[in-house]
Amino acid sequence: MLDRVLRLVLVALLLACVAPATSAAPRAAVTLLTIDGPIGPASADYVVRGIARAATDGSQLVILQIDTPGGLDLSMRSVIKAILTSPVPVASFVAPSGARAASAGTYILYASHIAAMAPGTNLGAATPVQIGAPGMEPEGKPPPARKEGEPRDKPGTPAGTPPAATPPLTSALERKAVNDAAAYLRGLAQMRGRNADWADRSVREGLSLSAEDALKERVIDHIVPDVAALTARLDGAIVQVLGRPLKLQTAGAPLVNVQPDTRSRLLTVITNPSIALILMSIGIYGLLFEFMSPGAVAPGVIGAICLVLALYGLQLLPVNYAGLALILLGITFMVAESFLPSFGTLGLGGIAAFVAGALILIDTDLPDYGIPIWLVATVAIASALLMALTVNVALRSRRRAVVTGIDNLIGTVAEMLDDTEREGWANAGGETWRVSTAVPLRRGQQVRIVGRAGPILDVAPIDYYNKGELP
């Protein structure tokens, strides 16, 4: 009996020692990533690497805070692929109040394991941007938009009739783009158990929802004011990640705010279409100056670096290659104007080609991805001024008198390099020349060049030349 009591006491003591250690065990961290602005190559790279780093560091959750007007399709899809294959659950959170997850942001929200919004935010308008571009609407007045609360199909509408708010698509290309986007978003909704019908309508009708309406429509899971409230709300939630349930323990978990690193900041700069255009112009002109003045080194080095950075940035963007070709052709014409007597024709044609190419260079209508007109005009004017300066320098050089050559050595002073009585060698103008003389000359003697016979210079001693006593 005493043995049993001692054993129970020992077990109780062991449990008492283990319990505090277990309760004090630190919880895995929560990683916070932020998208603030259009979704492009730089932000996609930042999110993809941030999710991979969270998995490596053992984070239990990635919170992706979103405030975006949309973004590029390729960048959006790379982010979604990273979310779908992540071993760490991702919670997309539209915040702070006043933020939005429009277009590409809606797709990312649907793809996430958890979707949340702050009060006063909105999402939707998931129609591909090119479909809604100006000038692509069909002729005639578009049908009126459906009002809030109005049924999608009015009474008496035959079955199968498209919704009144859905404008007819004007081409097969538009239908393909809309159908592809609708199927993509519907598939994400079905995967996460969210409202697939509203996802389809968001693409086809361009609908948007406030945070409260999104919660009612089963588009999102939570409405919380900030990240701290979101982590508290998700504590104890069970999330399906890659087919297996995962329980979150986020209450009191440390929050790791991952900011864009140097690589992401560099990508943000060089993938700006305006910066890419400036870098390309600097690169081409730098190489041009190096070719025109071999050995200058600095223009060639700076030009090569700028050109490589510009081409790398452009290959990440939706570039219209016709626009790129026009820019290169325009710069070629402006350079050719400096060497060919076209009386301004090539130069004016080059400026026109450069302006046209810059205006159509970026093949998208997304906000913040166009090249402003003022920048195109500034670069074109700078190129025209540079062309005019080059032509002016060339003309002035052409009118300048010839100051080199064998005939310009006549009358100058040379120095004998050896003793001679008839023919020898002399240093004239920093070069070694064969010379002939009528009188003996000695090494180091100063002589005057008085004529030439082919490649041989006629020389005479300076004292003879000064006295006019040439033999």
406-467: CATH superfamily: Nucleic acid-binding proteins (2.40.50.140)
**Alpha-carbon distance 30 to 112, whole Å?**
15
> Above pLDDT 90, what percent of the chain?
32
pLDDT category of residue 92 using cuts at 50, 70 and 90: very high
- Tell me phi and psi for residue 33, to 5 degrees: -115, 150
E strand map for 105-257: 114-117, 122-124, 208-210, 222-223, 238-241, 244-247, 255-257
Q: Which top CATH class is 28-263? A: alpha beta
Helices (H), 271-372: 273-292, 298-315, 321-336, 345-359
Task: Count CA within 13 A, CB hemisphere, residue 245.
Answer: 4
- If pLDDT is split at 50, 70 and 90, which confidence band does 353 have? confident
Q: In this model, does residue 47 exceed pLDDT 60?
A: yes
Flag whether pLDDT at 368 surpasses 80.
no
Amino acid at 188: L
Per-residue pLDDT averaged across 228-252, rounded?
91
Higher pLDDT, 232 or 160: 232
* pLDDT given for residue 321 in this prediction: 81
Contact residues for 228 (Cβ-Cβ < 8 A; gap 6+): none
Q: Is 274 helix (H, G, I), strand (E, B) or coil?
A: helix
Tell me: cis bond preceding 96? Omega within 30 of 0 counts.
Answer: yes
On the CB side of 313, how many CA atoms lie within 13 Å of its CA?
27
Work out the mean pLDDT of the chain and round it to a whole number. 80
Which run of H or of E encompasses 52?
helix 41-57
Q: 28-263 and 406-467: same fold?
A: no
Q: Listing from the earlier edge strand, what are the strands of the sheet with 90-94?
A: 222-223, 114-117, 90-94, 61-67, 30-36, 255-257
Rounded to an integer, what distance in angstroms lies between the CA atom of residue 446 and that of residue 428? 10
Looking at residue 365, its pLDDT comes to 59
pLDDT at 315 over 70: yes
158-217 pLDDT per residue, tens: 433 444 444 555 567 778 888 888 999 999 999 999 999 999 999 998 889 999 999 999
What pLDDT sits at residue 16? Answer: 57
Instruction: Give the pLDDT of residue 78.
Output: 93
Q: At a CB cut-off of 8 Å and minimum separation 6, what does 84 contact?
A: 111, 191
* Residues β-bridged to residue 414: 447
Who's near 192: CB < 8 A, 6+ residues apart? 110, 111, 112, 113, 115
Domain ranges of the chain: 28-263, 272-399, 406-467
Q: What is the pLDDT, as a whole number, of residue 9?
A: 58
Which residues 6+ apart lie within 8 Å of 300 measured at CB? 286, 287, 289, 290
pLDDT per residue over 273-302, tens digit each?
888 888 888 888 888 777 777 777 888 889
* Cα–Cα distance, 340 to 332 (Å, whole number): 12
Contact partners, residue 388, CB within 8 Å, separation at least 6? 347
Predicted TM-score of the model (pTM): 0.65
